[in-house]
Amino acid sequence: MRIDILTIFPEMFRGPFDCGIVRRARERGLVEIVVHNLRDFATDKHRTVDDRPFGGGEGMVLKPEPIFRAVEHLLGEQFDRQRVAVILLTPQGRRFTQAMAEDLATRERLVLICGRYEGVDERVAEYLATHELSIGDYVLTGGEVPAMVIVEAVVRLLPGALHRAESARRESFAEGGILDYPQYTRPAEFRGLRVPEVLLSGHHAQIARWRRRMALAKTLRNRPDLLEKAALSEEERQLLEELRGM
Ligand code: ADE
């Protein structure tokens, strides 16, 4: 996979792709990540990328021409919308989910356009981008951190990016999923706080049941919305009824 990122702050991307799983995936040749300065695609001598909004109002809006030029330079004027995703990051986008990360991980190329200022000329969302995405219901100063979030969520799903032990734990948020169960490690007692006894028992069936129960309890407390579309087994449904009654 190749990922291109268009931004007016390329220096923000120094670091995040040089650690951990993303770095390993790059070193293994699973993904190539190229960061571009949007100003390089401006045509005037001041390298202008923004202008005042038509209709009035505060702030500046990113102009369409440098963004269209950049994407056309990278992909040509026509591209295959099955194999390539052009993603505009704004707070107005559809909410990014694990299911979308899984879809994006099947593409050959991603182009991420980082919004900035008070907005991006709407013709980018309408006629250029294949996706307009938000990472959550809060407003950041731009799409740079959201682009990093998307890269990390997608790259870890690329075949070969994770070790076997890591990949077993990737399903939690997939559509129909619930939250992960709580994990503990040594010491068994820390400042008087003991690890749940069942985990030390070596009784695998009891441990598995305890984990399902705790995963449901945590989901019920922190993300009850996930339970509405979760695909639960009969045992899990019963556990959930018990927990709701408590
Ligand atoms: N730009 C500013 N806030 C954002 C968000 N929550 N998601 C994506 N892009 C953004």
Q: What is the CA radius of gyration of the chain?
A: 22
Which token pair is 180? 């992960």
Per-residue pLDDT of the chain (246 residues; tens, 9 = 90+): 999 999 999 999 999 999 999 999 999 999 999 999 999 999 999 999 999 999 999 999 999 999 999 999 999 999 999 999 999 999 999 999 999 999 999 999 999 999 987 899 999 999 999 999 999 999 999 999 999 999 999 999 999 999 876 775 555 665 568 999 999 999 999 999 999 999 999 999 999 999 999 999 999 999 999 999 999 999 999 999 999 998
Cβ atoms of 9 and 144 closer than 8 Å = yes
pLDDT at 166: 73
Read off the tokens for 116. 């900035």
Q: Give residue 107's identity as a one-letter amino acid code.
A: R
Could you tell me the distance, in angstroms and rounded to a whole number, from the CA of residue 86 to the centre of ligand 1? 16
Provide the whole-model pTM: 0.94
Burial of 178: CB neighbours in 10 Å, binned 0-12, 13-18, 19+: buried
pLDDT, tens digit, 9 for 90 and up, residues 73-104: 999 999 999 999 999 999 999 999 999 999 99
**DSSP category for residue 25:** H
Spatial contact of 58 and 43, defined as CB atoms under 8 Å apart: no
Six-digit token string for 110: 């991603």
Matching residue, tokens 């070790």 = 163
Burial zone of 9 (CB within 10 Å; 0-12 exposed, 13-18 middle, 19+ buried): middle
| Residue of 134, 138, 145, 148 with the most ligand 1 atoms within 8 Å of its CB, for mutation | 134
Both tokens of residue 175? 């559509």
The rounded Å distance from CA 89 to ligand 1 centre is 6
What torsion, rounded to 10 degrees, do the Cα atoms 45, 49, 54, 58 define? -110
> Does ligand 1 lie within 6 Å of residue 168's CB atom?
no
- pLDDT tens for 196-208 read 999 999 999 999 9
**HSE of 196, CA atoms in CB hemisphere, 13 A:** 13
Do the Cβ atoms of 151 and 157 come closer than 8 Å? no
